[in-house]
Amino acid sequence: MAVYPQTYDVIVVGAGHAGCEAALSAARMGCSTILLTISLDTVAHMPCSPSVGGVAKGHLVKEIDALGGQMARIADATAIQYRTLNTSKGPAVWGTRTQNDKIRYRVAMKKTLEAQGGLEIKEAMIEGLLIEEAGGKRRVVGVRDHLGVEFMGRAVILAAGTFLAGVIYIGDRRIPAGRAGEFPANGLARSLRGLGFQMGRMKTGTPPRLKRSSIDFSIFQILDGDPELRPFSLFTNGVSLPQVPCYMGRTTERTHRIIRNNIHLSPLYSGAIRGVPARYCPSLEDKVMKFPEKEYHHVILEPEGLDTQEIYASGLGNSLPYEIQMELVHSVPGLEEAEIMRPAYAIEYDFVQPTQLWPTLEAKLIEGLYLAGQVNGTSGYEEAAAQGLWAGINAALKVQGRPPFILDRSQAYMAVLVDDLVTRGVREPYRMFTSRAEYRLILREDNADLRLMEKGHELGLIGREAVEKMREKRRLIDEEMLRLKRTFIKPSIRVNAYLESVGSTPLESPISLSQLLKRPEITYQHLQGLEEDRELPSGVIRQVEILCKYEGYLQRQEREVKRFQHLERILLPPDLDYDQVPGLSHEVRQLLKEIQPRSLGQASRISGITPAAISVLMVYLERLRREKVRHSL
């Protein structure tokens, strides 16, 4: 046994998307940080889809960027296609998505980590936590690797992904692995169970990778990216890589027949896999068996990079034997001669039930231990990265003796994510959707900088120049909104002729430019035809147009936020004895003791807590307040 000579402020275990964000944020906040990973060759690896963002996920990436994280910058540096999803709907649910060069993404993130001051990266398989007990409390003081080397630190962030007791399934083949070709973290999984953590098993999977030159793309529909490229990051000045298309095809009745005839060979249906799969991202076996009425399912071919033959066959995910996978792939029109470069597989792994975490993502059982990413029962690169940033920030703040970083559900999608995890827990792999955010009208992709950049600056993750630029943007928006409200336009032959030419109704009386812009067919550019051109940045124009068109809805949501924040401000004492609160049922008391909500608002979101119980708590807290006042007199 050997003790590494340096003691660190923050130790991060795992270099996936969560671990990278955690390590970078802690180091950038001035903490001596070490990032430990099983393999230096797979830092920031994309084991599944070669893409970043999407509906709701794009919101998370934009928020990570506004707070000073790295994912958006790396996504832009390695993007080979940009698409904005949901554009037929309102801006609240638009989602930026990039196809990325997987190798370039990994290399770019590793280069960023290696260049970061105060951050070391080392290859080590962590098998256990080092715990110190004092005064009935347990505190993490370091980690131990498979060689017996102990790394000492003041805070530890576990971002182990799918590696905890991970097992890959391909037909009846059972392969211990954290990802294809990588060792599982069995020792660390045993360590967590031994420390008393409540854990479960989950399942996810990935489709086969096909050889580009063996595919007949003429059969597939071309899916081009957007003609106008809108980078993820506020700090990206341009996109440098060539942009390439994806392709869409469909399965056939023969595909479905192959699956039905061989479903007994799928470990998902044979009972070999006990982990819970995601309902919203089912394997092809699941789709065929659960939706027998469907004549076909879509297959999307996504390039994995500019310098590789590998094509990600989205929609063909399965865990069938290799020979059946070949037959299945060849049943899809255009893939009759396709060669499988990597087979599809399912992976089952341990996760920690996240209700055992505080809203900072610190473990309730062990002080100084933080968990982030798929180890908390989530799925997706973006959800992992958001948790990594959140945990890294809070670990750094704890080490520095500063107040924790906690946002509420009205401030960010990542706050919705964390609150859902620690308050409600998970029963299946958690994925972010816009429907999870009650205040999504004000939590749009386009205003992430206006919502969060000040906070990133306060944390030391956003520089002064960037935040001053955002403040100037906010000033221009406010000024232009006021000007549009105060500037009226009168009906005239010229004005009405122009309005008719752009498909709008002529004026009968004077109207403010703000009111005119509320018309669905009128854009800000149309206003330029009625007055002198104004030189405003495109980001300002976009905000002004959204704020005008959705003003009534936004004002109503702001009122809802104020009501929500009233309950959030009513804090529950950490030492509150729920057994002494009259009128609470035994079930409610147990739930409150398990979750230990920090506010009345959080308590109201715990599954099983009734409005009546919240009223009882409110009355009891008021009684405690009055007694405290009386005793102080």
Q: Can you give the CATH number for the domain in which 267 is found? A: 2.40.30.260
Q: Based on the fold, state whether residues 551 and 619 are members of the same structural domain.
A: no
**Predicted confidence band of residue 338 (pLDDT cuts 50, 70, 90):** very high
Confidence label for 282 from pLDDT (cuts 50, 70 and 90): confident
Q: pTM of this prediction?
A: 0.95
Task: Determine whether 193 is exposed, middle or buried from the number of CB atoms within 10 Å of its CB (0-12, 13-18, 19+).
Answer: middle
Same domain? For 326 and 244 the reply is yes
For position 624, what pLDDT does the model report? 85
In this structure, what CATH number is given to the domain that contains residue 618?
Answer: 1.10.150.570
Contact 388, 19 (CB under 8 A): yes
Backbone dihedral angles phi then psi of residue 32, each to the nearest 5 degrees: -70, 125
Range name among 71-80, 449-458, 570-579 with the lowest pLDDT average: 570-579
In terms of domains, do 517 and 595 share one?
no
Residues 297 and 322 in one domain: yes
Classify residue 238: in a domain, yes or no.
yes
Residue 633 has pLDDT above 80, yes or no: no
Confidence of residue 296 (pLDDT cuts 50, 70, 90): very high
What proportion of the chain, given as a percentage, has pLDDT over 90?
A: 91
Identify whether residues 506 and 615 lie together within a single domain: no
What's the whole-number mean pLDDT along residues 88-103?
A: 94
Q: How far is CA 318 from the centre of its chain?
A: 24
pLDDT interval class at 628 (50, 70, 90) = confident
Domain boundary among 293, 318, 344: 344
Do 529 and 593 share a structural domain? no
Mean pLDDT of 109-136: 96
548 with 607, same domain: the answer is no
The 10s digit of each residue's pLDDT in 208-260 is: 999 999 999 999 999 999 999 999 999 999 898 999 999 999 999 999 999 99
Boundary (domain end) residue, out of 344, 363, 386 = 344
Instruction: Give the pLDDT confidence of 23-53 residue by residue, as tens digits.
Output: 999 999 999 999 999 999 999 999 999 999 9
Same domain, 515 and 623: no
- Residue 270: the pLDDT is 86
Cα distance between residue 457 and residue 473, in whole Å:
16
**pLDDT digits over 194-210, tens only?**
999 999 999 999 999 99
What's the Rg (C-alpha) of the chain? 27
Residue 224: inside a domain: yes
- Of residues 1 and 452, which shows the higher confidence score? 452
Instruction: Please indicate, yes or no, if residue 444 is contained in any of the structural domains.
Output: no
User: In this structure, is residue 277 part of a structural domain?
Assistant: yes
Mean predicted lDDT score pLDDT of the chain = 95
Report the C-alpha gap between 372 and 392 in whole angstroms: 9
What residue numbers bound the domain in which 221 lies?
Answer: 209-344
Whether residue 216 is found in the same domain as residue 273:
yes
pLDDT at 405: 98
Last residue of a domain, one of 290, 309, 344: 344
The pLDDT of residue 254 = 97
Cβ atoms of 362 and 372 within 8 Å: the answer is no
pLDDT of residue 134: 87
What SS3 class is residue 45?
coil
The verdict on 306 and 281 lying in the same domain is: yes
Residue 551 sits in the same domain as residue 578:
no
Mean pLDDT score, 539-556? 95
Which residue do the tokens 């429907």 mark? 435
CB neighbours of residue 585 within 10 Å: 13
Which amino acid appears at position 546 of this protein? I
Residue 349 counted as domain residue: no
Structural domains in the chain (count): 3
> Within 10 A of 94 (CB to CB), how many other CB atoms are there?
19
Residue 493 pLDDT greater than 80, yes or no: yes
521 part of a folded domain: yes
Share of the chain above pLDDT 70, in %: 100
Asked whether residue 536 is domain-assigned, the answer is yes
Q: Are residues 476 and 602 in the same domain?
A: no
Helix axes of 538-549 and 551-568: crossing angle, nearest 10 degrees: 80
Q: Which of 285-289, 371-375, 456-460, 623-627 has the lowest mean pLDDT?
A: 623-627
166 has a pLDDT exceeding 70 = yes
Domain CATH code at residue 533 = 1.10.10.1800
